[in-house]
């Protein structure tokens, strides 16, 4: 991932809102800025929507599986 360090002027504009549309000098939209808090909230909401609590419970109760030692042993062989 590329890191861009913002000058104070740009940061002041970004810090005033939870979401900001980013445009090039011609006004063409090139992206969106989301506050770190909003980004994390959206990411967690998306992840939670991928599997229901009932499915997680079912998988937890499902027999079988491997111990951590077994997983490490298999990984060391590959």
Q: What is the mean pLDDT of residues 40-61?
A: 92
Q: What is the mean pLDDT of residues 16-20?
A: 90
* Residue 55: pLDDT over 90: yes
Residue 55 lies inside a defined structural domain of this protein: yes
Residue 23 lies inside a defined structural domain of this protein: yes
- pLDDT, residue 16, reads 86
Residue 54 lies inside a defined structural domain of this protein: yes
Residue 3 lies inside a defined structural domain of this protein: no
pTM (2 d.p.): 0.56
Residue 1 lies inside a defined structural domain of this protein: no
Task: With CA atoms as reference, report the closest residue to 35 among 52, 13, 67.
Answer: 13
Residue 32 lies inside a defined structural domain of this protein: yes
Q: What is the pLDDT of residues 63-75, one digit of tens each?
A: 988 999 999 999 9
What value does the CA radius of gyration of the chain take, rounded to a whole number of Å? 22
Q: Which domain holds residue 46?
A: 8-77
Residue 2 lies inside a defined structural domain of this protein: no
- pLDDT, residue 21, reads 94
Q: Domain count of the chain?
A: 1
């Amino acid at each position: 991932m590329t890191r861009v360090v913002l000058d104070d002027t740009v940061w002041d504009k970004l810090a005033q809102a939870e979401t900001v549309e980013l445009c090039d000098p011609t006004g063409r939209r090139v992206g969106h800025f989301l506050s770190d808090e909003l980004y994390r909230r959206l990411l967690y909401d998306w992840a939670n929507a991928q599997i229901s609590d009932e499915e997680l419970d079912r998988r937890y109760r499902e027999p079988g599986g491997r111990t951590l030692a077994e997983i490490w042993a298999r990984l060391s062989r590959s």
